[in-house]
Amino acid sequence: MAVPASISRRSFLTGRDEQPVRRILPPGMLEDGLASCTGCGACVEACPTAIIALVEGKPSLNFQAGECLLCGDCATVCPEPVFDRAAPPAFSHVVAISDACLARSEVSCMTCRDACPEAAIAFRPRIGGPFVPELNESACTGCGACIGLCPSQAIAVASRMPEAVDG
């Protein structure tokens, strides 16, 4: 079994290997624009919550460190054509809550609901157990405020579901 270069305390104590982290682009960054990124680090310096880091010379968000304010400072200071400057900063993702959620394991926890600035996570009552989380995907901005605070690491970035098209 290969040992990861850096292992979190949680992974060590649970005996689970950490999976490679998927690159999460700053809000408004174009997938094609990433190729134009020179890795200058201006976005890293401009981020007020310090969640942008250069990973392999390209910016990536770390929601374990905090949330994105969708302020657009990273796009403002970027000297390259990396961001869609015609639109307000936005993510193409939302969050997803897995079955590792404490509330789904009969433990009362509403940390994600309390952390969500958009109130996109609500809790539905159920008979015989604690309330369970439900995500309002249309209200979720993908800011990641709930991700780092989840005690069971049950929340992750997920692709936004395409809008239903009327035929």
| Residue 3 within a domain | no
Looking at residue 48, which CATH number applies to its domain? 3.30.70.20
- What pLDDT was estimated at residue 8? 61
Same domain, 28 and 74: yes
Task: Report the C-alpha gap between 69 and 144 in whole angstroms.
Answer: 9
- What pLDDT was estimated at residue 167? 43
Task: Report the C-alpha gap between 34 and 52 in whole angstroms.
Answer: 14
Same domain, 86 and 111: no
Q: Which runs of E-coded beta strand occur in the chain?
A: 52-55, 58-61, 93-97, 121-126, 129-135, 155-159
| Residue 2 within a domain | no
Strand partners, 2: none
Count how many domains the chain has.
2
- What pLDDT was estimated at residue 2? 40
Same domain, 85 and 144: no
Element (H, E) at 54: strand 52-55
Task: Report the C-alpha gap between 105 and 89 in whole angstroms.
Answer: 36
Task: Report the C-alpha gap between 66 and 21 in whole angstroms.
Answer: 16
Looking at residue 134, which CATH number applies to its domain? 3.30.70.3270
User: How many residues make up the chain in this entry?
Assistant: 167
- What pLDDT was estimated at residue 31? 81
Which tokens hold the place of 74? 């990273």
Residue finishing a domain among 58, 75, 90: 90
- What's the CA dihedral at 31, 33, 38, 43 to 10 degrees? -80
> Which residue range is the domain that position 53 belongs to?
22-90
pTM of the shown model: 0.79
Same domain, 107 and 85: no
| Residue 107 within a domain | yes
| Residue 123 within a domain | yes
Tens-level pLDDT at each residue, the chain (167 residues):
344 445 666 666 666 665 555 789 999 998 888 899 999 999 999 999 999 999 999 999 999 999 999 999 999 999 999 999 888 999 989 999 999 999 999 999 999 999 999 999 999 998 888 899 999 999 999 999 999 999 999 999 998 876 544 44
